[in-house]
Amino acid sequence: MEILIKPVSDKCNLDCNYCFYKEIVSERKNQINANMTFHTVENIVKKAFEFNPNYINFGFQGGEPLLIGIEFYKKFIEKVNKYNKNNINIYYSIQTNGTLITKLWGEFLKKYNFLVGISLDGDKEIHNFYRKTKDKNGSFEKVLKSIQILKEYEIDFNILTVITNKNASKGKEIYNFFKKNKFNYLQFIPCINSDKNNINLSPNNYYKFLKNIFDAWYIDILNNKKISIRFFENILGTLIGYQITECGFNGKCIIQNVIEADGRVYPCDFYTYDNNNIGNINEIDFYDIEKNGSEFLNEKDNRNCNTCKYKKICNNGCKKYRVKNKFIYCNTYKKFYDYSIEKFLKLIQKMS
């Protein structure tokens, strides 16, 4: 069971140009001004265990979720320990902009085995172009200091990089920068969420990025240098026959149980608009959420993909990246798979 919690809603100490979340929040009729209360925490945790899942991954995101402070998370974990009477497996993860991590945070995150996602777009010049503080200063140095703390406490972390038209041509440079710094777990997210000119990633630029970064990654994998790129590993897993839960691969959406600071629930992090609200956790339970989210789950239509030879590893992509039910990166992926598929198959042979 996956639960994605936004304890401070859209509050953030950065002002990134391409932030899709603040654009969504700006369209809401009722803004969320307060942080999550412990009444809401109690309802989330109690009702999660009443749903009787096999496991729970409590993920935290924002805005910037560290703004709420360590005490919130300590009390959250106290509630989890209170209600986990059957001792099911519990996992914690947090996605942060990486500017607020101190040694105190390091001790806490290590103690409770948090998986940490750090937003980092590349080297100093690339990262600071969009990811600035409120006073328009770059955030790169703060992020690197936070990563050093994570390394010091041996905390598992991955890097999440947003790809825009600005950095799409620098795939190899970004990859080599991460490799040099031993950032070995990477995720790359194409930006289509901003309405600002020339930020959204064009299909052609995305193809160039994928090709360039694949070339560098492929050589390293052949030479037994382990660099994990989530997108490429999902491709390998799908080709092998593993069930990949990411909606861009398995042909259907899942309910992410996104819970806002005031308890409002949404099916997906990309769909936290007013018309996607499926209730409030203070008033409904997870059985209601599953029922109320069924319409969202049934919206995905992959019929246009039936004749595509790459349907198995695409399935019309994530519906956030579709216009009139057409995956905007359809031709991008076809070109990329035409270029790379034999090499992926070669890697599978090497692994077997």
- CA dist 6 and 145 (Å) reads 24
Known catalytic membership, residue 301: no
Q: Classify residue 175 by burial, with Cβ atoms within 10 Å: 0-12, 13-18, 19+.
A: buried
Q: What is the DSSP string of 51-117?
A: T--SEEEEEE-SS-GGGG-HHHHHHHHHHHHHH-TT--EEEEEEEE-SSS--HHHHHHHHHTTEEEE
Bridging pattern class, strands 114-119 and 157-163: parallel
Q: Classify residue 307 by burial, with Cβ atoms within 10 Å: 0-12, 13-18, 19+.
A: exposed
Residue 85's alpha-carbon distances to 98, 112, 259, in angstroms, are 34, 18, 23
From the list 269, 274, 285, 301, the catalytic residue is: 269
Catalytic residue numbers read 269
